[in-house]
Amino acid sequence: MRIFVIDDSPSVVAKLCQAVEAIRGSEVLSFLQPREALKRLDDQTPDLILVDYMMPDMNGIEVITHVRRNALTAHVPAIMITSRKETDIKLAAMQAGATEFLTKPIDETELTIRVRNILSIGEERLALAAKAASLQRDFDAAMKTVERHEEEIIWRLSKAIAARHGETADHLDRVAIVARMIAEELGVGARQSRMIFLGSALHDVGKIGLPDAILSKPGPLSAEERRQMQRHAEFGSEILNDSSSELIQTAQRIAESHHEKWDGTGYPKGISGSSIPLEARIVAIADVFDALCSKRSYKPAWPIAEAFREIVNSSGTHFDPACVAAFCRRWADIKGLFELQLSDGDPVTPQQTSKTAPTFQLSRGSA
């Protein structure tokens, strides 16, 4: 345990050091100049400070005040040594953060007992801090294991759902990656970006509740079939509702609202603007863009450049303009991701978009 002894009297310093050095396990650093001691706080943080009150350059109360203002030493105990009896001095010292007082002439037995008691408390504090750090490491490791298992369960379930309604695992991967890119560009933070990345994988979980005849139908849906298809958003919300998991809560908001539109013409609730959860606004873009670029039994794949134009042209109607802007800022990364798998090399930038992109049914759920 490191102890600072601060006193302008060499004889007092010698006496204090002699008494304190006799305490096993202690290292004593002595200072005749208070400012020299304060300079050493950052690189040799003490476990205890003994400081005289009456010193010409800086008194003990001022020293303790500086110690308390330093984040590294704010909680270091300090014993002030003084021959003064005035109550106001002791009150000022207590207000500054003095832990104990010793009165001159110093009784070595009393000094040793007080120092040992304070060091003992410090050792217990360090032991508790070490135990807390160990428990935190164990907790973090356990949480990482839980998160890995959580991720695996979600991805396996989502891929099973995708296989049932004719989509591929690649679709889920791309939607998740694009959604995370948009989230990151919006500055939502690493934790929420991860939630959106994983929660997006369950955006169509409600399709479990739809008849196979609708999911596998190769041609256009009738008005009634289309109405039933749209119910997958409600089914998904019901499946994921009432969870205590923050991740599943995020997935529930996405499943329920990823077909809502910025202008209020979406489903299932017809909400608009910022009333639509941000996660759902983000995933809506990722889902529609991938649906446009992917071949389905009921439609051909769009070229990436045309799909990009459609997203931009739908800003303010179908999509949140801020999310579309974030999508555009990450376009180079998104385009590269899709070119790896879908082989469309037509370069396009936001400035090259036009209002002439073709329109037709995007997907059974995306329209």
pLDDT 10s digits, 205-222: 998 888 888 877 877 888
Catalytic: 159?
Answer: no
Q: What is the pLDDT of residue 354?
A: 32
Cα–Cα distance for residue pair 344/193, rounded to 1 Å? 28
Cα–Cα distance for residue pair 85/101, rounded to 1 Å? 11
DSSP β-bridge partners for residue 28: 3
What share of the chain in percent tops pLDDT 70? Answer: 91
What value does the mean pLDDT take over residues 335-344?
A: 77
pLDDT digit string, tens, across residues 72-88: 898 899 998 888 878 88
138: Cα within 13 Å, side-chain hemisphere: 6
Distance of CA 186 to the CA centre of its chain: 14
Cα–Cα distance for residue pair 108/113, rounded to 1 Å? 9
For residues 126 and 5, the answer to whether their CB atoms sit within 8 Å is no
Cα–Cα distance for residue pair 82/89, rounded to 1 Å? 10
Q: What is the CA radius of gyration of the chain?
A: 34
Q: How far is CA 40 from CA 4, 51, 136, 157, in A?
A: 10, 15, 31, 58
Q: Does position 152 have pLDDT exceeding 90, yes or no? A: no
Q: What is the pLDDT of residue 165?
A: 64
pTM of structure: 0.61
What value does the mean pLDDT take over residues 182-211?
A: 93
Q: What is the pLDDT of residue 356?
A: 32
What value does the mean pLDDT take over residues 287-300?
A: 86
Q: Residues 144, 207, 299, 335: which is the catalytic one?
A: 207
What value does the mean pLDDT take over residues 342-346?
A: 47
Cα–Cα distance for residue pair 178/283, rounded to 1 Å? 8
Alpha helices for the chain (secondary structure H): 10-21, 34-39, 60-69, 87-96, 108-164, 169-186, 190-199, 212-215, 223-230, 232-240, 246-257, 278-293, 304-313, 321-329, 331-342
CA angle (299 as vertex; 312, 155 as ends), nearest 5: 75
Under DSSP, is residue 82 helix (H, G, I), strand (E, B) or coil?
strand
Cα–Cα distance for residue pair 160/154, rounded to 1 Å? 10
- Structure-block tokens of residue 36: 């020299």
How many residues make up the chain in this entry? 367
Q: What is the pLDDT of residue 185?
A: 97
For residues 297 and 219, the answer to whether their CB atoms sit within 8 Å is no
What value does the mean pLDDT take over residues 290-295?
A: 90
The closest of 310, 316, 272, 290 to 204, measured between CA atoms, is 290
Residue 167 confidence class, pLDDT cut points 50, 70, 90: low
pLDDT digit string, tens, across residues 347-365: 333 333 333 333 333 444 5
Q: Does position 345 have pLDDT exceeding 60, yes or no? A: no
Residue 168 confidence class, pLDDT cut points 50, 70, 90: low
